[in-house]
Chain A
């Protein structure tokens, strides 16, 4: 089991290179071994969303999804990096198809004796609402590809922030063999605004940042065992932890396969009282990952 990163000292804070501040393309470049980065289906292929312009929304030439190939610590790697600044990193028909196809390709390679390390840089609000059903279908394809691929090679996910990882893509995050977060990252099925809209401000105040990070933040997710590693916002540290995660190989039981354990825990929750975050921490702190 890994221990969470110690907070950076003042000198480290000054000399660190922020990962969060990088664009998706810069992130992929920063993680791969120097000089090995190459992009598949890049901007000049112009695989943009056909649906956004019809609705008066400016599309992006790569649909906000970077497929990068190269090596990581000398081993073949593919990085799927979502650009959170374009449409909140949402998954549309094209960006979703790029992820699903890359995962399938990696599965094909792995089955033919050529294991490729697959890394997801998740920065997404989930399905792109303008593409509704096509986005949902894409996520279904991605998730079934994840389950098939992770039998062969570990799939690692990083949620660094500041968008976080929500909606259908949070399910994808949960399917990862290993998940790495920063304190700034957030992970949740429904985003704070969705919960407030659906259940009222008494249930969840989406303007309360402290509450949001206490529920969805990296520190909380790590404490509850939904995430394997908590890391500071630093390119070098994140790269080290990603390499370390791949080094652990395919887990004998993925977190999402531990259904019985989670059901058992859910059964012990007293739903007649509002659950406090500190109680939740106590209840879920026993890590089940084998």
Chain B
């Protein structure tokens, strides 16, 4: 298991917390809550070690479009980058 964390500047307040997904094979769980500052904070626990660079690219891409000041916690069980992006978008939509 590997732990990763990323921070991004954020301009939009988040309306409500939301939870999506499951820590099952090829899937992940996302907990999204309003953060206390004008930043987005992401912490990740993933079952697959050594993919920090890929995670960074996925997060960079997501936060190039998402401006929410959210604290995001991810529990990952081997999801593909596409799956991670879908879950993040699902969580972002649920928090609006």
Residues of A at the B interface (CB closer than 8 Å) are: 23, 42-44, 53, 56-61, 64, 83, 85-87
Contact = CB atoms under 8 A, between A and B. Distances in A.
Interface stretch (B4-12, B22-30, B54-62, B82-90): B22-30
Interface residues on B, range: 10 to 19
A28 to B, nearest CB: 14
Contacts, number: 46
Contacts of B46: 58
B1 A56 contact: yes
B47 interface: yes
A57 B75 CA distance: 10
Given A43-B31, A58-B75, A58-B77, A83 B19 contact: no
Interface of B: 1, 17, 19, 22-25, 27, 29, 31, 33, 45-47, 73, 75-77
Contacts of B22: 23, 60, 83, 85-86
A227 B76 CA distance: 36
Q: Which of B22, B45, B77 has the most CB of A within 10 A?
A: B22
Given A53-B1, A58-B75, A44 B45 contact: no
Contacts of A61: 19, 29, 31, 73, 75
18 contacts: A23-B22, A42-B19, A43-B31, A44-B17, A44-B31, A44-B33, A53-B1, A53-B45, A57-B1, A58-B77, A60-B22, A61-B19, A61-B73, A61-B75, A64-B23, A85-B23, A85-B27, A87-B23
B17 A85 contact: no
B29 A60 contact: yes
